[in-house]
Amino acid sequence: MAEVNFSLFTLHFSLYFVSLQRHSIKLLIIMKKSIYLSLVFMGLLLTATGCGNKKQASGGTDDQAYRDSVAAAKAAEEAAFNKADSLAFNVWGDVKFGMSIEEVSKTGVFGTLKGSEEWYDVDGKVISKTLGTKALRKVQLGFNNDARKLERIIFSSLQDMPASRISEMEADIRLIAAKVEAGWQTQFKYENENATSDKIKVGEVFRILSIDYGNASVTANIGQMYEGKFDYDFVVSYNSSFE
């Protein structure tokens, strides 16, 4: 009887041990799954964080590249302006913007200067002989009030010219422009060309040139002040103050 009871005890214990072992195995499997899932989650989290950091870093790089590009373009533009401005002083041969009346007179480029205060007239024949113009009448030199420095030159044609001479006037403008281009070491882009009487209304002008170069500028027009009466003007100016 005792042996039977011991056998039953042994059987129950074995069954319990097997059950406990199975439970432990299940628990171990569950724990392994949990660890695995945790590792997977952490991996995904790290991957997402890394991508975000890379994206942020890439975005920062792109922003910096854009800022560098803008800064480089601005520096290039400023350098080009400064170069143009330094050349713009060479307005007409030995005559430069910023010269005093005495300095311009000594160059002899425009011959004898006649006038006072702001404006001095020059005999247009001196320039016509040099350039070969056909309709140029006079040249005026403008000096600013404060520093008394040369800041403007105006070339004007004969007034009341007939429409048949419009082509001569446009040719004059090109000859004058070529002289300024040589000093400025550039080539002008003409706004309009081939002027004719039907393109110029009474009281209006036909714009040939409108150029900005550094702080200087050039404008050239052919106008019809009265019916059938034409003339032109070519103005080159320095539009900044002198010390």
- Nearest Cα to 128, choosing from 82, 63, 172, 181? 172
Measured at the CA of 124, the angle between CA 108 and CA 185, to 5 degrees, comes to 65
What whole-number distance in Å separates Cα of residue 70 and Cα of residue 77? Answer: 11
pLDDT tens-digit profile, the chain (243 residues): 444 444 444 444 344 434 444 444 444 444 545 554 455 456 555 555 555 555 455 556 788 888 878 877 888 877 777 787 888 899 999 999 999 999 999 998 888 888 877 789 988 888 898 899 999 998 999 998 777 899 999 999 988 899 999 999 999 999 999 999 999 999 999 999 999 999 999 999 999 999 999 999 999 999 999 999 999 999 999 998 776
| Continuous H helices in the chain | 2-88, 101-107, 124-131, 166-184
Structure tokens at 150: 């040369």
Distance, in Å, from the CA atom of 65 to the CA atom of 67, rounded to the nearest integer, reads 5
Contact 232, 174 (CB under 8 A): no
